[in-house]
Structure 1
C-alpha cells in the first residue's frame, strides 16, 4: 500500500490539474509515480528532468543501452516499480531480461550503473577508465547525471512505496528473480 495516495483528477487542485494536463501532453500518461509527485509540482518537474537526460543520452547510447543502464541501477537499488518498467521494455524488445546478452560496451555501462547505485564513492579508476574507452567527458557527465536521476526515481518510489502501475503487472516476478 502506498504511503501517500496519488493525486487523481478528482482530488487535484487547479494548479495540479494544469500540471497533470502538461504531463499527459508531454508523456501520454500520469503514472502512479507522477501522480504521487504531483503533490509537489516542483518535485514532479525536478524528477521529470530524467526524460530530458534520457533524450540526451539516447543518441550516443541507443535506447536499448539507456534502458539497460537504468535497469542495472534500478535492480541494484531493489526498486520494484522502476525495475518492472525497465523489464517491460526489455521483454517488449523480445529479450529475456534475466539472461541478457551484453557486448563489452553494454557490460561496462551496466557495471558503471550498478556501482553508481550501490556506492558512487566506489567508482574506482578501473571502471572509470573502461567508461573513458567508450564515452567522452561530456557523455560521462550526462550519463552520471542520468544515472543519478534514475537513483532519485528509485529512492522516491521505494521510500513512499509507490505501487507499480497496472500496465506493469504482467511483468511482475518474485524479488529473488527481479533483484539478483
Structure 2
C-alpha cells in the first residue's frame, strides 16, 4: 500500500490539475505521476518522458523499452518492470523466435551496469556505446537510465501501488539476454 494516497483531482494544485487534465485528454496519468503531483517541483524533477521521447527518436521504441525494462527488473521495481513489460507486449514480440539487436544488447548491458555498479561499468560496454552513438547520444542514454533508476527508487520508497491496467501483465526477467 502506498505511503501517501493517490492525489485526487479535486485536491490538486491549479498547476497539477492543468497538467492532469491535459495529459488525460489523450492518455492516462500513472499512479507514480499522481503521487508526484503532490509537489510540482518534484514532478518536474522526476519527469521522465521528455528525455525518453528524445532517445526514442534515435533508437526506437523497442530498444528503449528493453533498456528501461532491463534497468527496472535489475532494480526489482514492480511498477516500472510491469509497465515496460506491457509496452514490450504491446509490440507483439514473439520471444520464442526472438533475437536482440546489437544496440539492444549494449543498452541492456549498460542499464544493468548503471544499476549494479556505475563506478565499474566494463570498458567493453563504453567502447560499444562509443562505436554506435555520439557523445550527445551517450549523455541522453545515460540521462534516461538515471531517470529510470530514480523512478524505480521513487516507486519502491513510496510503495506506489501498481496501476490497475497493469494487473494482468505477465513478464519474465528471463527474456533478457544473459549478463555478459
Do they superpose with TM above 0.5? yes
Shift of 1:172: 4.1
> How high is the TM-score relative to the length of structure 2?
0.87
Contact 2:63 / 2:103 at 8 angstroms: preserved in 1? no
Write the deviation string for residues 49-88 of structure 1: whole angstroms up to 9, x where unpaired. x211112111221111111110111111110000001000
Choose from 161, 164, 167 the match for 2:165: 167
Take 1:17 and 1:107, find their aligned partners in 2: how far apart are those partners? 40
Is 1:28 matched up with 2:22?
no
By how many angstroms is 1:101 displaced? Answer: 2.5
Residue 44 of structure 2 is aligned to residue 45 of structure 1 = yes
1:82 aligns with 2:58: no
**Within-5 A mapping of 1:6-155:** 6-24=6-24, 28-48=27-47, 50-96=48-94, 101-155=99-153
Paired with 2:140 and 2:125, the residues of 1 have a C-alpha distance of 17
Shift of 1:99: 8.3
Q: Following TM superposition, by how much is the alpha carbon of 1:152 offset from its aligned partner in structure 2, in angstroms?
A: 0.8
Q: Is the 8 A contact 1:81 1:164 kept in 2?
A: yes
| TM-score, L = length of structure 1 | 0.87
| Distance of 2:150 and 2:95 partners within structure 1 | 23
Q: Does the Cα contact within 8 Å between 1:90 and 1:97 map onto a contact in 2?
A: no
Aligned residues: 175
Deviation at 1:132, TM superposition (A): 1.0
Maintained 8 Å contact 1:7/1:38: yes
SS in 2 for 1:54: helix
| Aligned-pair Cα RMSD in Å | 2.2
In structure 2, C-alpha distance between the alignment counterparts of 1:64 and 1:132, rounded to whole Å: 20
**Contact 1:71–1:83 at 8 Å: present in 2 too?**
yes
Structure 2: state its 5+ residue gaps. none
